[in-house]
Amino acid sequence: MKEEIKITDHVIVPKHEILTPDEIKHLLDTYKISINQLPRIAEDDVVVKEIGANVGDVLKITRSSHTAGVTHYYRLVVKE
């Protein structure tokens, strides 16, 4: 029997979350940007597939940093 491996369980893969519409609005209002100004992540990215994100979703990526503690990055899921 083959064991399923989840990429999100790996220690070097940061936490990825799909934002709600309200969270997206708050993010865009806070930074005074449009959704198209966000950095992009491809819909065929392994983590995007695993968490069930779709084109148009915005992901919050939480990374640990030795200098900053915890940092958040945001990516718009796009068709590539």
% of the chain with per-residue pLDDT over 70: 99
Q: Provide the pLDDT for residue 41.
A: 98
Q: Is residue 61 part of a domain?
A: yes
pLDDT tens for 47-63 read 999 999 999 999 999 99
Using a 10 angstrom Cβ sphere, with 0-12 exposed, 13-18 middle and 19 or more buried, the burial of residue 60 is middle
The answer to whether residue 45 sits within a structural domain is yes
pTM of structure: 0.89
* DSSP string over 19-62: PPHHHHHHHHHHHT--GGGS-EEETT-HHHHHHT--TT-EEEEE
pLDDT at 1: 65
Quote the number of domains for the chain: 1
Q: Quick check: is 34 in a domain?
A: yes
The parent domain of residue 58 ranges over 16-78
**Is it the case that residue 5 has pLDDT exceeding 90?**
no
CATH number at residue 40: 3.90.940.20
Q: Which two tokens stand for residue 32?
A: 């005074």
